[in-house]
Chain A
Amino acid sequence: MLLEVRDLHVEFRTRDGVAKAVNGVSYGVDAGETLAVLGESGSGKSVTAQAVMGILDTPPGRIAGGEILFQGQDLLKLKEEERRKVRGAGMAMIFQDALSSLNPVLSVGDQLGEMFVVHRGMSRKDARARAVELMDRVRIPGAKERVKQYPHQFSGGMRQRIMIAMALALEPALIIADEPTTALDVTVQAQVMDLLGELRREYDMGLILITHDLGVVADVADRIAVMYAGRIVEQAPVRDIYKAPAHPYTRGLLDSIPRLDQKGQELYAIRGLPPNLMDIPPGCAFNPRCPMARDVCRTDVPPLAEVAQDRASACHFWRECLHG
């Protein structure tokens, strides 16, 4: 395993109490594999990624337990300085909002080249050449001319490509993309997703795609982990999960998406609201919203049980869900 998160717990201290954002998450990514982490806001998907990257704001955040093994080494045991070396060269992150992640007063070429100057000790001229090369790799047309331009001169899709180029610069073994296409238009979304997939193959990287959109990841992910209230509720290869979900939450999400190929009647809607992380319901966190909930769901936390090979579900009644 390239990256293995084991039983991670993260808390946030707020003025109203402690919010348990991540409650025992475990997942792993191999080199050359794409894991999609799917969840709504408050599910803990981004917080987990921030903990892995080591960019969690502490305080208010606090890693309350668990291990993050990257290439066999527990990142949580490293000193901050050692950790910083892992970032960039070992793993890199792509954010949703490319415009605010780029420095507006530096040309794109300078920002891309800076990495080679700083990390690889290259001369400015060589670094500029590498920047052009990177822009070519992320398929920005006319890279030679555009390398001198500033971020605001690029469209949203092109800026996201520049962010991808930056993440790629030091050829990291793992890329974490947090909602990389959410801010983009549909026609551009597909381009950027395709690009990420191609680059992942080309460089044999591990890719973690964090998203709330079931549709976006269907094409590119190998495996999907669905998160709810800081836990993974279902983990499965991508085909299986869309065909036959083994958790009522996943099933509800799939059913509540309107279809493009026909005009539906009333939409299926998961009732209620995502839980308050300061007051997570006892037992299964999904039980108040679950159409299958029974007494045991209100008292016992369901373990993440193996459903089939490489598939797991944290539902007491996964059999019913899968076959019912």
Chain B
Amino acid sequence: MNLLWLQASGCGGCTMSLLCAEDPDVFDSLQDAGIETLWHPAFSASSGAEVRGLLEQIEQGKIALDLFCVEGAIARGPRGTGRFQMLSGTGRSMMDWVTALAPRARHVVAVGSCAAFGGVTTAGDNPSDAAGLQYEGAHDGGILPVGFRDQTGLPVINVAGCPTHPGWVLETLMLLAEGTLGADGLDSFARPRFYADHLVHHGCSKNEFYEYKASATALSELGCMMEHLGCVGTQAVGDCNIRPWNGSGSCTSGGYPCINCTAPEFENPRHSFTQTPKIAGIPVGLPTDMPKAWFMALASLSKAATPHRLAHNATSDRLDVPPGVRKPRS
């Protein structure tokens, strides 16, 4: 299979994250999966005229394209022209190129939340009038219509995340290369289920604090960040705390909240990212699939039962109180 990667209106961070793949690295992973890179803007040798020639040949169907990866949202402004991003050297907008090339590809992969939904590029009042490939925020239909399907019947595959974990991108590409990612492997936002069927909460190192509602009150404290610090890991999809980032990390292990970067419209939460919105002292966003009354009942019960160790450590920046150690019964 061959692969073409274009960077649209984004930060390039998903490519940079991809370079953090380890054992094997990104180049071995692609090569071993039989994926040949026709062109990638950060990795490939060719520049200028050679690239223009390649793009034209793909557009004309002279080169059959298998995997078309787009990183970044697509700028539609100003006034619908797409000229906020011209693909340099071609005199044509990125919007024009992506709509021309997508139907030519066996599979279209939106790499990152910008390409999937618009993402941070559309934050605030969306100054460049950008959109995702097949979604505009949570709404169906982006640059490509709602009904767009690739040559195998799949929609645009949304490897959402800001940035994407290198494993999410590589495993998606490897599954596609193998022919084993079908519609049933995608969730309702067309995100690969192998990572989107997990919650960021799963495996979070702060889970015990969560169980007892022992909350951090400020960044750098160890407690659960859901009650006060804006963490939405109980609602956000992603296996971030199951497979580590950069060796051993995750947002919550780094001491800052999950901001739900795999979801459409995460960029405009309507409150500060690091502060939990509350009504009458109760957080607005609670776990999605749990009855609210039960959650409240459990929370008040567990708060009442919080061990001193957790209550103390939750508002400290270090584990002051270790777990009790019991000798085996003799």
- Is chain B found bound to chain A in the same assembly? no
